[in-house]
Structure 1
C-alpha cells in the first residue's frame, strides 16, 4: 500500500472507530466484545482498503462486517449452549486422568489460534467450513491450523510420554 493509503486509513479509523464500537456495544451489550469485533472489522477493512476506500460509505462496510462477525460469535455461543444442554447436568467425577492432564497441558502450549480451531473442530465436532465461518477466516487457514496443531500436539504428547517413562525408571 502506498503511504497515502495508510494515512487515509488512519484518518478513517480515527473518525469511525468510536461510532462503530458504540454501535456494536448497543447491539451486544458487552464493551470488550464490541471492541474486539470492531478491531477485527477494521483489520478486514485495512486488508481490502484499496477497494473499501472507494465505497461511498466505508464505515457502513465496516459496520456490516462487524455485524456479521458479531452474529457468527452469537451462533457459536448458541451452538455451544445447545451442546451443553444436550449433555445434561454434569456428573460428579473424580480427578482427571493423567492422559487428560497431559492433553490439556499440551493444548495450553500451542498457539491460541490453533487451540481455538482444535476446540471447535474436535471438541464441538464442527465441520472445517463451519469453524472457518465462525472464526471469519478462510477454510485453508483452518486446515493449516488444524494440521499444525496436530503435529505440535503429537510432539508435545510424545515428549510427555518419554518424560513420564524416564521419571518412572
Structure 2
C-alpha cells in the first residue's frame, strides 16, 4: 500500500464528516472531499512532508465550501427577470390539434407540415421520401378526416 493510499484510508472518513458538517449536503460533501483528495494527490510529494497534511485537506474543503456558499448566495440574491407574458394558445388551434390527434400519423404529419409550417407538397414529398401523389393523397384524406372529427366535436359542444 502506498503512502498516499494509507493517508487516504486513514483520513477520508473524518474529512467526509467535516465536509458534511460544513455543507449540510451529502452530495456536496462527497464532491468536495473527492476534489480535496484529487488536489492532494497532485501535490503529494510536497504535501506528505507537511506537519499535518490532513489540515491542508480541511483547508481545501473549507475553501470549496465557502465558494459554493457564495455562489448560492449570489444566485439567490440575483433577481430573475420577469418572464415574458405568453398568451394562452388559441382555442381554435387547440381544437384543430386535438382533432389532428385522431388522424393516422402520416395524414397528421403532412397536414401539419403543409398548413402549420407552410411547406409545399413537393418539399414534403422530398423530406418524407415519398412520391408527390402520396403526399397529395394523405392531404386529401387528412382534410376529409379532419372535417369529420371537427364536425363531431361541434355537435358535442
TM-score by length of 2: 0.52
Unaligned runs of 5+ residues in structure 1 are 1-5, 95-165
1:34 maps onto 2:29 in alignment: yes
| 3-state DSSP of counterpart to 1:56 | coil
Structure 1 residue 26 displacement after superposition: 1.2
Aligned mate of 1:87, from 75, 80, 84: 80
Corresponding residue for residue 137 of structure 2: none
Structure 1 residue 92 displacement after superposition: 4.9
Unaligned runs of 5+ residues in structure 2 are 88-125, 128-157
Aligned mate of 1:9, from 4, 7, 14: 4
1:23 maps onto 2:18 in alignment: yes
1:69 maps onto 2:29 in alignment: no
Call closer, same or farther: CA 1:89–1:58 in 2, change over 3 Å: same
Alignment size in residue pairs: 91
Structure 1 residue 89 displacement after superposition: 5.2
CA distance in 1, matches of 2:68, 2:85: 30
CA distance in 1, matches of 2:4, 2:20: 23
Call closer, same or farther: CA 1:91–1:42 in 2, change over 3 Å: same
CA RMSD across the alignment: 2.5
| 3-state DSSP of counterpart to 2:49 | coil
- After superposition, the C-alpha distances for 1:37-80 in whole angstroms (9 at most, x for unaligned) are 00001100100001110001100000101110111111111121
Matches within 5 A, 1:50-69: 50-69=45-64
Structure 1 residue 28 displacement after superposition: 1.1
